A and B are shown apart, each in its own frame.
Chain A
């Protein structure tokens, strides 16, 4: 569960949340392009962490916090 759907959803939330906090750069596009490009790497890192973590509760907490913080950023942007 943690390595599969949760990692995928969290990676997607990190990708979307990054649009809010990443600097947009000279061309005003970095905060849009980089999260999409990095999405496969974010998911891979989360997947491997979830499977290799020795303490499952801590892994759930880390993934949950990452997903929660980015979900809050996305929600704030949507309802701004």
Chain B
């Protein structure tokens, strides 16, 4: 129990409420998309799976493909090379150089090849500035849409990152003040008064879910605001103070320079041999490969590995890019272990929940879902208590629209994506149209229904229908069937389909309960503003 003077408690309660409601809607959008983004890789695989899959993410033959693509690329871009799985069994190979834009900010420009991991045949070629290239990736477009909404709300950099950074700070304040104002925190973890009035029950549900979720909300807010602010302003500002504005020099210091500068030309090392060696050393597959100074004597191949079993922090392996010799293993930052490097290495696993495979991801998904629930019920409670004021009734309508409309709009994205794929239309535009169209439709439905329980039931029913029909739409659009997926060892396709079917059935059960016991709705009926 936290004891504070009454005056301070009142202030904290006011801060807790206002921090929640002021930016709560945007925060809710960030949390909802973050919940889905936990399964970013799985969504990529599910939405665009190739019919067969090699055993390794970086299969044998990658070296030959790398050399072939390098020979097809303008020599200007053959400075650095990044290679990573593109989803569905494809790989992205990005040859790029580092430039500065008109305002002096560092940018990356290059040529990106998307190759089929089975045949190493080029599926797509994209050229330009990295930010623009990212917007053209069709195979991973569905997951990218969610991630971009989560990371920067689809706003241009650095404004979107700055906004999500502020939202992270707001969430931290809500978590800290929530901890301080709930004087009987331990008791409240287990208090749910079901037989009293509905507002009290709703408040109890919010408090119970919020109290259990407090440590997790704090961790997510802290790590998320770090990611946003680091890119938006902290790193450039730090470079200004410590390196006279030279960001390249700062990154070189942070990452560590393993090989002295040597610009002489050298035949690139055999990437397949390097991959064979790193698998032997680490016992697992890398998730990202960086080839710095491609075709130079000081070339370095860095292989980024997931954390070893039982460990939280990832490790990287360095090889010579000229002869393929193993150089050293090292932390993500710096050439030697350090306190700062350790702290930094913990941030990613704590934010993404990817430190123990699907299990930790599922836990992170569930906790994130609870966070979205707490945010939504918090805003509903806040507006409900002030429903006698016209402005708050209008705000209540907006909360209902975003609260129930956003998940539906997100569920509409795969429909736009799959239908566009089947019809040969632009999948990236189609999913955006589906998102915005569903959001507009949700607003109309909220204004027509006007009552909380009716809006909730309609949203649950629409969500159930969307999730139950989605596997069929995916199949109809030419997606991989279950037998073929299982034969090829692509378990993620039936797994995501089954998860959608299960979630759809749960929504249907909730709809049925809502009809049978309308008084048991999460919040009491709230009259929303009259439609004009």
Contacts and interface: CB of A to CB of B under 8 A. Distances in A.
A33 B341 contact: yes
Interface string A12-47: 100110010000011111111111110111011001
Interface size class of B (residues with CB under 8 A): 35 or more
B334 interface: yes
Q: Which of A28, A32, A36 has the most CB of B within 10 A?
A: A32
Contact of B254 (A19, A29, A35, A77): A29
Contacts of A37: 226, 340, 343-344, 347
A32 to B, nearest CB: 6
Give the dominant DSSP class at A's interface. helix
Contact of A35 (B176, B238, B336): B238
Interface string B213-241: 00000000110011001100111011011
A28 B169 contact: no
B134 to A, nearest CB: 24
A44 B240 CA distance: 24
Given A37-B226, A39-B226, A41-B222, A29 B341 contact: yes
A35 B173 CA distance: 19
B279 interface: no
Contacts of A39: 225-226, 229, 234
The range of chain A's interface size is 20 to 34
B389 interface: no
Given A25-B339, A32-B253, A47-B173, A77 B226 contact: no
Contact of B242 (A25, A32, A51): A32
A30 B334 CA distance: 9
Contacts of B254: 29, 32-33
Given A36-B234, A40-B225, A77-B241, A28 B343 contact: no
Contacts of A51: 11, 15
A33 B234 contact: no
Nearest to B230: A36
Interface string B227-265: 001100111011011100000001001101000000000
A32 B241 CA distance: 10
B253 A30 contact: no
B478 interface: no
B507 to A, nearest CB: 35
A78 B8 CA distance: 41
Contacts of A15: 234, 237-238
A74 interface: yes
B526 interface: no
Contact of B253 (A16, A28, A48): A28
A54 to B, nearest CB: 9
Contacts of B11: 51-52
Contact of A27 (B177, B221, B337, B347): B337
Contacts of B222: 40-41
Contacts of B328: none
Contacts of B242: 19, 31-32, 77
A27 B234 contact: no
Given A12-B237, A31-B340, A37-B226, 8 more contacts: A27-B334, A27-B335, A27-B337, A28-B334, A36-B226, A40-B168, A40-B172, A44-B176
Of all A-B residue pairs in the complex, the 7 with the closest CB atoms, nearest first, are A27-B334, A33-B340, A30-B340, A27-B338, A40-B225, A25-B338, A36-B234
8 contacts: A26-B336, A26-B337, A28-B253, A29-B340, A31-B340, A36-B226, A37-B340, A44-B172
